[in-house]
Amino acid sequence: MWSDLDCDVKEQYELKHMTTMGVGGPCAYYLAPRSLATLEPLYARCRELGLPVLAVGNGSNLLADDAGYDGAVIHLGRRLKGMRVEGDTLIAEAGLPMPRLAWAMAKQGIAGFEFMAGIPGTVGGGVVMNAGCIGKDTAGVLTAITYLDEAGVLHRKPAAKLGLGFRSSSLQGTRSLILQAEFRMQRGDEQQDVMARTRAAADIRKDKFPLHVATVGSTFKSPPAGPHPGRLIEEVGLKGHRIGGAEISRVHANWIINLGSATAQDVKRLMHVMQETVLRKLGIEMEPEVLIV
């Protein structure tokens, strides 16, 4: 079925092994392409077989269901991590970790990517979520993407037509598959200044958030103008609240931690308690940032 395609294949592979939260049941097929050239025929094969497709980079913003996924998971973050420079454009493959991109640019004194050092996701996921940190986001440097639409047709689309908003894009909720992204390179800054800003962005996570834990990071979106969910959740007394193996972090209340035995259902129930309590006590509705599969 897959032997003629250049990819690793596993059947009934659990999504908990692909997500930073460490929860999620088995998918029908796990597919890890070894090159960008494999993606188009691989996606076409999934369509021929009638398989729904889920693209996963680092799995840092996904909450996968305990029942798993009855389709094919294409793991872009396994090998598709290349990048190259063409003139003033940086072209990065979808599976490239954003911190790696940030540091690579900083070492060359190229500005604009510093904020990515504080984001645990990959380029593909960063585009879909318009990921951001320290007041900057992906939309600020993105110029175009190459992707396969839901019919398997290859496109190159400028960033201006992606509907990029606060932690959102028109790609969310679709089965489009990003191959690579193009970014504008800003030259002229002193290399030591870019390195310092990149280091500061990376240090934000160390200073504000729990480290070395199983989590998806921010559970609910934090609007630039506030109010920030972490403060709201703490205000209603839920910091440290636990359901099953899932706990609201005692370090940052907008993070849910898998203590080691959490199920996706535990996390979902805890999210519901957070939303319902904040709405009931403070009249504020929080919008999930985590993507539920």
Residues labelled as active-site residues:
167, 218, 289
Question: Dihedral sign, CA of 245, 249, 288, 270?
Answer: positive
∠ CA 17-273-269 to the nearest 5 degrees? 35
In degrees and rounded to multiples of 5, residue 19 shows phi and psi of: -120, 145
Separation of alpha carbons 14 and 120, rounded Å: 21
Pairing relationship of beta strands 291-292 and 62-63 according to DSSP bridges: parallel
- Report yes or no: 30 and 75 within 8 Å, Cβ to Cβ: yes
Mutual angle of helices 191-208 and 98-107, in 10-degree steps: 150
Residue 17 identity: H
